Structure 1
Amino acid sequence: MVFKSKSEFMQATRDYTIQWGRNILFSKNDKVRVKAVCKSEDCPWVVYCACNKQDGSWQIKTLVDSHTCPRWRKNRAATQTWTLSKLVPKLRKHPTMKHREVYDWFVRKCNVYLNSTCITRALKAARKIVEGDEIAQYGLVWDYANELLTSNPGSTVQVSVIPMPESPPLFDRFYVCIDACNRGFKAGCRPLIGLDGAFLKTLHGGQILTACRQDANNHILVIAYAIVSVKNKDNWKWFLELLHNDLGDYRENKWCFISDMQKGLIPAVQEVFPRVHHRFCVWHLWRNFSKQWSSTELKDMVWECARSRTTVEFNRNMNRVKLINQKAWEYLDKWPKDAWTKAHFSELPKVDNICNNACESFNAKIKHDRGKSILTLAEEVRRIIMKSIVDNRKKLENYQGILPPVQQSRLEAMTALSSHWAPQWSGDEKEELYEVHGWPTNMVVDLGKHTCSWMPCMHAISAIQDKNDKRAEDYCHDWLKMEAYRKTYCFNVNPVKGQDLWEKTPHPAPVPPPFKAKPGRPTKKRRRDKEEQPTGSKTKMKRKYNPIRCMYCSEIGHNKRSCAKKKATEAEEHARQLQLQLALVAPAAEGAAPEATTVPAEPNPAPSPTQTPTVIDISQCDSIPPTQETQQEQLTARPSKLKVIKGKARLQSSPKPIKAAPVAVSAETIKGTSSAIAKKLADFMTFVPTPTFKPPRKTDK
């Protein structure tokens, strides 16, 4: 077997021994020969390779391929260099591999068990090779900006640095607006721009600011993006000023914005775009509302108010909130009505979105990329934009229809609802005014004004069908038709060369901004609110469960067994039962006869065969009902003998009904039971004889 070089032979030998689970040692290693033996002393395995002086190749001269030593799962030949040589190609194909997946892959593929520290260090070094050095990429920002402008002429790329007197400049901000995205937005998209920001998961941190839009088929695409150090008013104002310069005058083009209430964003929009129509994301408004009021009814009322399409319906829902909670109504009433409810939205953007889902979807799409270095992140965003334009163009390339599929399905749903309404023409000359009858109220429709924003509603569709001159698709706005969709994607993003082929610029290379390392492991996930449910796998149970709720008092934090209120109630009930028992015993003790003198009975002679049987009578009247103190003494002492009355055996008639007083139960009262049961019954039971009660009888044997 011949090898090109000595390093190739040593690498092949190392792979072979790791695969078979044996530890080897290179006993000879010089310029002309290499010898490897097994570390076990009694094992005969050996391989010897020497250099061929004629062509410089290396050839195996001796090979004894038999092991007598046991197999080892852990191998010291699996160094970090060897681990990187296997992990880097795998990580290029699967960049989202996690720690456990790397461990399982080495066990399955290479039959070796690596420890956790080795995998962590190898994975970190492999990501640095695949994704690039985070610190070194800050110095290539100027070169990347120049290459992006060269490949995509007409784009806007701006780099902002902070000059330092005696050191390289510090990186501050980076803005990109590709020409294809700008021209496509102006050609066929509705003028509603979503603004949002997301944090970066790198060592130096930062934020990525984005401006997104939706096409005629509600597909999401980025107009511009920027990487800044922090989200504040200055950075938002700088981003919006550059965006304004790229898109043109907002009054002439009737631009509108939608965003959440981020720090510094609202005042920045008001300064750069005075009196512009600015909507708030209702989902973020609802989250802030839920932090103060946890009532499900109130939280649902926020969405009902936001979805109200008429001012009457909105005022009715707001009055319901006011009746439930005055402070909640004041919180909602302080926000501008044209910013979060459909009833007061402007008709200019021809879209009734109440949530900023476009930006949220894009942030979720680059969730993994936000953990990469700055230029790798910028390139991933550019590739996503380029791929989205191509995919959306091919998706509906052969589609036949006036409206895109999403808008067509929505129009069909409206058409189905229009069957519940009855139109009535008013008799005007243009045949445009209709009175539509239905529940809950009648509606007036003017087909000439197109006041249904961007698509005919169910009332307008019923009038259009009654008029029967055009299809409902013809009344839709041009921004919702396939022609506008094709205009949006008639531009393309040009490819960019690799990093090694970039042209060097004369600008001084900036350094990353300073950062303060926080204790502990760096966080990769955002802090979630207490109302949010934790995300998890579809096949594994979540580790967060519902809070424990007491079944007795309905409070959270304890169960029924440890409930303090339940214990207090039981103690009160026990005390009440004791008082009731004492109240029943006291009258019986007061009405009892005085204690009679005990006369010793003569010894009974042995019964003869002709003697009449003896009758034993247990009389209740001769015994005094014991009190609580005497009862305890009787339980501990031996009970006295029963009073025996001797006489002829005769059948007694049924006793006359006598009003019996309650008598406390003692061991003397209950016969035929064990002493333990009698003691227990005497502690908490009271014996109340009925009028027909007969004492137990017992005959002497």
Structure 2
Amino acid sequence: MPALSLRISSSVGIQGLISVSLALSQTEPAATDNYFEVAINYAPQPLVSSKKAMKSSACQKLLSILASADSLVASREDNSDSESRTWSSYHGSGEASDYASVATSGAKVDRDFGFDDCGTPAERVKKRRRTSGSNKAEVASGKKSSSKKNKDRGALTNVIVVDELGDLNGDEDLPEKLVASWKEGINGVGQDFKSVKEFRETLHKYAIANRFVYRLKKNDTNRASGRCLIEGCSWRIHASWVHADQTFRIRKFNDEHTCGGESWKSAHPGKNWLVSIIKEKIRDSPNEKPRDVAKAILHDFGIKLKYSQVWRGIKDAKEQLQGSYRKSYSRLPWFCKKLMESNPGSVTKLVISDEDKRFKHLFFSFSVAVNGFTNGCRPLIFLEASSLRSKYKEMLLTANAVDADDGFFPVAFAIVDIENGDRWQWFLEQLKSAISTSQQPAVTFISDREKSIEKHVRDVFENSYHGYSIFHLMESLKKNMKGPFQGDGRGVIPAVFLAASHAVRLEAFSSLTEQIKHVSSTTYDWVIQIDPAHWTTLLFKGVPYNHIIQNPAEEYSKVIDDMRGSTVMQKIEALVSKLTNTMNHRREEARNCSTRLAPSKEKQLVEKAVKARSLNVLFSSEVVFEVHDDLTHVVNIENLHCTCLEWKFSGLPCCHAVAVFLSTSKSVYDYCPHWFTVESFRSAYSELINPISGIGRPVEDEVDYESADVHPPLTPRFPAQQKEETPKILDSNRRTVICSKCKEPGHNKASCKATI
């Protein structure tokens, strides 16, 4: 039997596209379906168009094709059952579309598709205005807000019930297919369901289809009893779990309403009901986007929601699932207490304001991390700050050391209400109290140059060194590369800048910066003024670090991004979990190493040994040697020095020194720094973090919440960015205004202040 399928996609009130696809299929024995499609694209004006647009050639062609399609199908039809045609959605994404049915004998396009071929434009506008208000049915009080602002603040009580297509069709608020299936969802006593969840969902849909609101009085995994929201109404339902049959069965059911439908008209079930639905949808996917949740609700329940309604619903649902973000601050004293109990020797510090008990800053460092830094890491710490992703604008401060394998080793964390110099000063003071020992060597600190925390580092750690993070310098370079550009263009500047940071001789550094100058003199000026003594291998006096170009805070920023919308305690739990997993993973890596040096350092040494085999070594003394390749270099193994300077700045013996060790049968490992060895690698991760019991849930019996009441910080107010005034360009051809009253230029008679 032949079938005709016409698919139309339309959007009322916007510059639209009508795509009509005519598909004709004829099914015969032992034959496959054959299809052909005709597509017409029409988008000259909005779909709700003028009479002139309706008479355009494209529309006339559209109508003629529809008419010819009808006649084509009519000639092939073998029975009268195919008189009706179905309109299916052009889009397969589930988004709102327009549905209608068209008789085979007519070629008129229905008004639901955005245009009508009868009536004047004024009549069509009046018709839309008359029907627009009656098309909306509200599952709430039914009262209209007097202003747009109040309408937006209606939370989830203003719920619009619509059909699957997103267009309201008079009194038919739900799609016919959904209504037909949902109305019969509850059959009566004895009906079985697989679980209480299936029963609740079916009952929700049944109530929507039959336009009433109910309330579950008893609602748990074994039973559920519901009543109509209106007191005195006779509608009742009760279902319970049957252990013998392993099913959830309706035991009592009275489907008669004596309230006259008042529950649908006057109740306010929208917010609680929708929050319960959203809560189920985000339980397993807490980062579900509001638009996706709205589409799922439209598909499942036929209810179309505004973005703001779904956003507030997700917020309330997360608060029910995860707890209140505001109240979670009261658990911080408990966290500090439990951390020190479960991990003795750890350091925590919580500061709240005396006046209003608002959170200011929290510091915590595990004893395992402090011991690992002291015993297995070089004296090098990266200081980073990242957002905690909440409406209170807290910042996460981190101190990361570097292990033997050049991996970041987290030492300490802090959460502060705002990032400024005072907060960095406080963080460094707490860090010093945690890591300082009598034998602690001078520590090298690396930070973002734009944070300007060098002064605070010098104040707290007097004998320390401070350098600029290469990662952040590269990011700043991208912002400060300004033209005009010459030669090879701006694309070569980042690579040349990185090479300049690794230069070990002044001549090489000058040559590389001159290359930048030839491309862009403005960029060259910026490179020189950022003080090369803080970021170049040649001039920096602390522990070499600029081979590390990664962002130390990247992993923890990803954790926070995944937990955005969660409470502060849940974010701390995620950080602790990430720290624990990282240390466990690195501990296994260190334990499985079979070499003398950490894997990355061993690999570098092997590469140098391969190159060293082609070098010629001449003995000058027991400790001084000449090594020849393209140039001649002098190696002093007693002073750990080579004239190529690579040994001095990298810490590992250079290829010339390795050639000497191969020639003298000396062990190269005896001349490598201790913090590059597998022994140090294992020492850093030798201890494990003990789990903190109850960190993921409230423990009311162990916390006095009244005495430990902590409020969230005040949201900081930043000064508004001043708009740059665009200078007015004087037009020489512009006519000068002459006042007709005083005959002076620059104003007219109306603004003239001259007295006559």
Question: Cα–Cα, structure 1 residues 103 and 310, in superposed 2: closer, same or farther, change >3 Å?
Answer: same
Match of 1:512 among 701, 705, 712: 712
Match of 2:334 among 122, 143, 151: 143
Which residue is 2:348 aligned to?
A: 157
8 Å contact kept, 1:28–1:34: no
Distance in 1 between residues matched to 2:472 and 2:319, nearest whole Å:
36
Deviation at 1:211, TM superposition (A): 0.4
Which residue is 1:309 aligned to?
A: 504
Which residue is 2:593 aligned to?
A: 399
Match of 1:382 among 563, 576, 582: 576
Match of 1:456 among 632, 636, 653: 653
Give the AA of the match of 1:238.
W
Give the AA of the match of 2:314.
L
What CA deviation, in whole Å up to 9, does each residue of 1:294-314 have, x standing for no partner? 342444432221121333322
| Secondary structure at the counterpart of residue 364 of structure 2 | strand
Question: Cα–Cα, structure 1 residues 266 and 35, in superposed 2: closer, same or farther, change >3 Å?
Answer: closer
Match of 1:492 among 688, 706, 710: 688
Number of aligned positions between the proteins: 486
What CA deviation, in whole Å up to 9, does each residue of 1:213-235 have, x standing for no partner? 22222332311111112221111
Pair 1:192 & 2:380 matched = yes
Which residue is 1:466 aligned to?
A: 663
Which residue is 2:127 aligned to?
A: none
Match of 2:432 among 221, 233, 244: 244
8 Å contact kept, 1:426–1:433: yes
Distance in 1 between residues matched to 2:443 and 2:189, nearest whole Å:
68
Distance in 1 between residues matched to 2:682 and 2:315, nearest whole Å:
44
Identity %: 22
Pair 1:501 & 2:711 matched = no
Match of 2:618 among 419, 422, 425: 425
Which residue is 2:178 aligned to?
A: none
8 Å contact kept, 1:233–1:265: yes
Give the AA of the match of 1:169.
K
In structure 2, list runs of 5 or more residues that go unmatched: 1-186, 219-223, 229-233, 241-247, 256-266, 642-646, 722-756
| Secondary structure at the counterpart of residue 343 of structure 1 | coil
| Secondary structure at the counterpart of residue 381 of structure 2 | strand
8 Å contact kept, 1:306–1:342: yes
Distance in 2 between residues matched to 1:28 and 1:302, nearest whole Å:
69
Distance in 1 between residues matched to 2:238 and 2:281, nearest whole Å:
33
Question: Cα–Cα, structure 1 residues 340 and 161, in superposed 2: closer, same or farther, change >3 Å?
Answer: same
Give the AA of the match of 2:712.
P
Question: Cα–Cα, structure 1 residues 362 and 412, in superposed 2: closer, same or farther, change >3 Å?
Answer: farther
Give the AA of the match of 1:394.
E
8 Å contact kept, 2:334–2:703: yes
Distance in 1 between residues matched to 2:199 and 2:428, nearest whole Å:
60
Give the AA of the match of 2:472.
H
Distance in 2 between residues matched to 1:248 and 1:519, nearest whole Å:
39
Deviation at 1:336, TM superposition (A): 4.1
Question: Cα–Cα, structure 1 residues 309 and 31, in superposed 2: closer, same or farther, change >3 Å?
Answer: closer
What CA deviation, in whole Å up to 9, does each residue of 1:458-501 have, x standing for no partner? 2322332233332x445432212221111111112121222432
Q: Which has the larger radius of gyration?
A: 1
Give the AA of the match of 1:115.
L
Deviates more, 1:130-139 or 1:149-158: 130-139
Which residue is 1:254 aligned to?
A: 442
Which residue is 2:37 aligned to?
A: none
Deviation at 1:518, TM superposition (A): 9.5
Which residue is 1:221 aligned to?
A: 409
Which residue is 2:562 aligned to?
A: 368
| TM-score of the two chains, using structure 2 as the length reference | 0.56
Deviation at 1:366, TM superposition (A): 3.1
What CA deviation, in whole Å up to 9, does each residue of 1:382-436 have, x standing for no partner? 11111211222234433322223322233333334445x523223313xx32222
Deviation at 1:443, TM superposition (A): 2.3
Question: Cα–Cα, structure 1 residues 351 and 291, in superposed 2: closer, same or farther, change >3 Å?
Answer: closer
| Secondary structure at the counterpart of residue 496 of structure 1 | coil
Match of 1:60 among 246, 251, 257: 251
Which residue is 2:202 aligned to?
A: 16
| Secondary structure at the counterpart of residue 360 of structure 2 | strand
Match of 2:369 among 169, 176, 181: 181
* Correspondences of 1:536-615 after superposition (within 5 Å): none
Distance in 2 between residues matched to 1:323 and 1:28, nearest whole Å:
77
Distance in 2 between residues matched to 1:85 and 1:478, nearest whole Å:
59
* Correspondences of 1:37-52 after superposition (within 5 Å): 49=237
Distance in 1 between residues matched to 2:238 and 2:553, nearest whole Å:
63
Distance in 2 between residues matched to 1:100 and 1:250, nearest whole Å:
58
What CA deviation, in whole Å up to 9, does each residue of 1:623-647 have, x standing for no partner? xxxxxxxxxxxxxxxxxxxxxxxxx
Deviation at 1:183, TM superposition (A): 0.9
Distance in 1 between residues matched to 2:199 and 2:239, nearest whole Å:
16
* Correspondences of 1:596-675 after superposition (within 5 Å): none
Deviation at 1:180, TM superposition (A): 1.0
Question: Cα–Cα, structure 1 residues 140 and 362, in superposed 2: closer, same or farther, change >3 Å?
Answer: closer
8 Å contact kept, 1:210–1:222: yes
8 Å contact kept, 1:260–1:356: no
Distance in 1 between residues matched to 2:628 and 2:474, nearest whole Å:
35
In structure 1, list runs of 5 or more residues that go unmatched: 38-45, 65-75, 521-526, 528-701
Deviation at 1:281, TM superposition (A): 1.5
Deviation at 1:377, TM superposition (A): 1.8
8 Å contact kept, 1:191–1:255: yes
Which residue is 2:311 aligned to?
A: 120
Distance in 2 between residues matched to 1:417 and 1:104, nearest whole Å:
62
Which residue is 2:422 aligned to?
A: 234
Distance in 1 between residues matched to 2:524 and 2:388, nearest whole Å:
37
| Secondary structure at the counterpart of residue 338 of structure 2 | helix
Give the AA of the match of 2:454.
I
Question: Cα–Cα, structure 1 residues 381 and 519, in superposed 2: closer, same or farther, change >3 Å?
Answer: same
What CA deviation, in whole Å up to 9, does each residue of 1:166-193 have, x standing for no partner? xx32221111111111111111112110
Deviation at 1:351, TM superposition (A): 4.7
* Correspondences of 1:270-309 after superposition (within 5 Å): 270-294=458-482, 295=485, 296=490, 297-309=492-504
What CA deviation, in whole Å up to 9, does each residue of 1:44-92 have, x standing for no partner? xx9974699xxxx99535699xxxxxxxxxxx99955444445435534
Question: Cα–Cα, structure 1 residues 372 and 443, in superposed 2: closer, same or farther, change >3 Å?
Answer: farther
8 Å contact kept, 2:627–2:656: yes
Give the AA of the match of 1:454.
G
Distance in 1 between residues matched to 2:360 and 2:421, nearest whole Å:
15
| Secondary structure at the counterpart of residue 262 of structure 1 | helix
Deviation at 1:100, TM superposition (A): 4.0
What CA deviation, in whole Å up to 9, does each residue of 1:273-325 have, x standing for no partner? 23522111133234434444334244443222112133332233244445666
Question: Cα–Cα, structure 1 residues 23 and 337, in superposed 2: closer, same or farther, change >3 Å?
Answer: same
Q: State the superposition RMSD in angstroms.
A: 4.2
8 Å contact kept, 1:192–1:213: yes
8 Å contact kept, 1:138–1:171: yes
Which residue is 2:139 aligned to?
A: none
| Secondary structure at the counterpart of residue 357 of structure 1 | coil
Distance in 2 between residues matched to 1:370 and 1:61, nearest whole Å:
45
Deviation at 1:516, TM superposition (A): 6.4
Give the AA of the match of 1:225.
F
